[in-house]
A and B are shown apart, each in its own frame.
Chain A
Amino acid sequence: MNGIWPDIVAHLPLVWADLLQHVEIVAISVAFGCLVAVPVGILLTRHTAVAEVVITITGLIQTVPSLALLALVLPILGVGLVPSITALALYALLPILRNTYVGVRGVPRETVDCARAMGMSGLQALWRVELPLAIPVIVAGVRLSTIYLISWAVLAALIGGGGLGVLILEGLATYDFGLVLAGAVPAALLAIAAGFGLGWLQRALTPKGIRSVASGRGA
């Protein structure tokens, strides 16, 4: 094991570039995931009849093995960054969608009802009451997605997406264990860091008045 650290150190410039790319892939995928899943999740709370169907479908996407999904987008979108991000964004959907749905529905009906009865429009009630109360749960979904994607983004290298997976695949191909670790260890550290970072964000975004109450509600 003595040879590992020198290897990682030697690969450091390379590791740094791949790490940044990895973060980029994950960040863009999660951002897209949020952009779609949060509004759809909110919309579903208004149409609970279709909610079950939509959540089941996104759940199905989740069950497709990541390797297979990447292989599936390959013939449609080709190789490179775009297909990688597309596939990963699909994966990001479910936790965010589900948590948005659960979080917004979890706001007591009486509270929303009261907001409406006081003269808030539907949007005002959503913006001023429902979303602030649901935000801890929504961010918990984003956090979960992000942590998943950091590990799955390793596979993006398979279809030319880049990232830390490049190091790992190269290492596997050349039996260079040090290179594998040079990709795997930063990926693991990144996942841990993201977990902490988003956990902090979740607390920071939770309105002060419900912080003590909300800690038990996160997913």
Chain B
Amino acid sequence: MLQFESVSKSYRDGTRAVAELSLEVERGEIVVLIGPSGCGKTTSLRMVNRMVEPTEGRILLEGRDVMALDPVRLRRGIGYVVQQIGLFPHMTIAENIEVVPRLLGWKPERRRERTRELLDLVGMEPAVYGERFPHELSGGQQQRIGVLRALAADPDLILMDEPFGALDPITREQLQDELRRLQAAVHKTIVFVTHDMDEALRLASRIAVLREGRLLQLDTPAELLRRPADEFVAQFVGRHRLAERTAPQTVREIMNHRPVTLGPGASTEEAFALMQSRQVDTLLVVDGAGRLQGYVSAWHLAHRRAAGRTLGEVCEEDVALAQPEEDASSAFARMDGEHLPYLAVVDGGQLLGIVTRRSMVRALAAAVWGDAP
């Protein structure tokens, strides 16, 4: 859909805002350009609609070099959203939304119809809001209109330059959610500039991290968190990375490797004694070869006239199991959903460990405060 082919932008004083940027944006993606101020993210965005012209390289939109297109017509075909100052204060909300359709020469009825449709899309009553002026709306509402205005002429590509930067955190999150919802509904391709990593992680299909005009990494949010390309990216991703990296990935990583077990030949008295000394109410029964046979609980032993019998005879076999390579979070979800006190981790019949509520708490603690001792 959109390709940067080793695009550079240098200014006469020698500063290089963007250096050999190459990236490709697929149709329907939200690509977020992120980096500290002065990293060239806004310049890169503005080169797409020729508000800034590249000094080297090419930008291809649907395979056509943007420099070969008439800038005015090019821009009319691309949605554009900036911070809320971008709404024209002397125009009503309806007039603001209709700017591009008017430039394109749409008939008044068609424009009005489209405006109504768009306002409905974000739940703003057209009869109420259409005739208002921007200053009569809250910041969040104004920015909603900014987004609708970009959608008005139904462009395939939308450029957004820190559109939610001036909003309070709660409104910002609302609008981010709304944008995702809109994106799912209208399938636009969006290039989005921000310096807010939270925003990038929430919205992006892929994130491009820029620094001093160079692209350091272009990856999905998950990949970026898991495998930052270098120390700078790692630092920029910051606390998210910390949480993600120390957060256990598999059951094997978070399980207790030494569950309390007894052999099938052990007596119930032994079982009681072990439970008391280890402060547990359940034991796993494991044979000499390390295979899980079942479990016994204190409740069992007390209620089933188990005295004098071996554990192999009285144990229950329906142990809730987990695979060692299973995702830890899904194991937790299962425990939580089915009210299981623990999961026995078994691989090929061999007992490897046990996941209890305590393992869950430790894993969460590690994710929040770093590696627990």
Q: Which of B7-15, B57-65, B71-79, B317-325 contacts A (4 or more CB under 8 A)?
A: B71-79
Q: Which of B21-29, B83-91, B115-123, B239-247 contacts A (4 or more CB under 8 A)?
A: B83-91
Q: Does A53 contact B (CB under 8 A)?
A: no
Q: Which of A7-15, A34-42, A160-168, A202-210 contacts B (4 or more CB under 8 A)?
A: A202-210
Q: What residues of A have a CB within 8 angstroms of the CB of B100 in the complex?
A: 118-119
Q: Does A133 contact B (CB under 8 A)?
A: yes
B90 contacts A121, C-beta separation under 8 Å: no
Q: Does A120 contact B (CB under 8 A)?
A: yes
Q: Does A102 contact B (CB under 8 A)?
A: no
Q: Does B135 contact A (CB under 8 A)?
A: yes
Q: What residues of A have a CB within 8 angstroms of the CB of B74 in the complex?
A: 119
Contact flag A119-B103 (CB < 8 Å), given A110-B82, A110-B85: yes
Q: Does A60 contact B (CB under 8 A)?
A: no
Contact flag A116-B75 (CB < 8 Å), given A207-B90, A209-B91, A210-B90: yes
Q: Does B307 contact A (CB under 8 A)?
A: no
Chain A residue at minimum C-beta to C-beta distance from B84: A110
Contact flag A124-B103 (CB < 8 Å), given A113-B51, A209-B91, A210-B90: yes
Interface residues of A in 74-114 (CB under 8 A from B): 108, 110-111, 113-114
B135 contacts A209, C-beta separation under 8 Å: yes
CB distance from A205 to the nearest CB of B (A): 11
What is the CA–CA distance of A113 and B89 in the complex, to the nearest angstrom? 14
CB < 8 Å neighbour of B99 from A118, A132, A207, A208: A118
Q: What residues of A have a CB within 8 angstroms of the CB of B46 in the complex?
A: 117
Q: Does B3 contact A (CB under 8 A)?
A: no
Contact flag A133-B103 (CB < 8 Å), given A118-B76, A119-B73: no
Using an 8 Å CB-CB cutoff, how does the interface string of A184-217 with B read, 1 for contact, 0 for none?
A: 0000000000000000000000011110110000
Chain A residue at minimum C-beta to C-beta distance from B103: A119
Interface residue tally on A, bucketed by range:
20 to 34
Interface SS, A side: helix
CB distance from B19 to the nearest CB of A (A): 24
A133 contacts B90, C-beta separation under 8 Å: yes
Q: What residues of B have a CB within 8 angstroms of the CB of A128 in the complex?
A: 88
CB < 8 Å neighbour of A210 from B83, B89, B99: B89
B103 contacts A118, C-beta separation under 8 Å: yes
Chain A residue at minimum C-beta to C-beta distance from B92: A209
B90 contacts A132, C-beta separation under 8 Å: yes
Interface residues of A in 144-164 (CB under 8 A from B): none
B85 contacts A117, C-beta separation under 8 Å: no
Q: Does B49 contact A (CB under 8 A)?
A: yes
Q: Which A residues lie at the B interface, using CB under 8 A?
A: 108, 110-111, 113-121, 124, 128-129, 132-133, 207-210, 212-213
25 sample A-B contacts, Cβ–Cβ < 8 Å, listed by A number: A108-B85, A110-B83, A111-B86, A113-B51, A113-B82, A114-B82, A114-B85, A115-B88, A115-B99, A116-B75, A117-B46, A117-B82, A118-B75, A118-B76, A119-B72, A119-B74, A119-B100, A119-B103, A129-B90, A133-B89, A208-B133, A210-B89, A212-B135, A213-B89, A213-B135
Q: Which B residues lie at the A interface, using CB under 8 A?
A: 46, 49, 51, 72-77, 80, 82-83, 85-86, 88-92, 99-100, 103, 133-135, 149
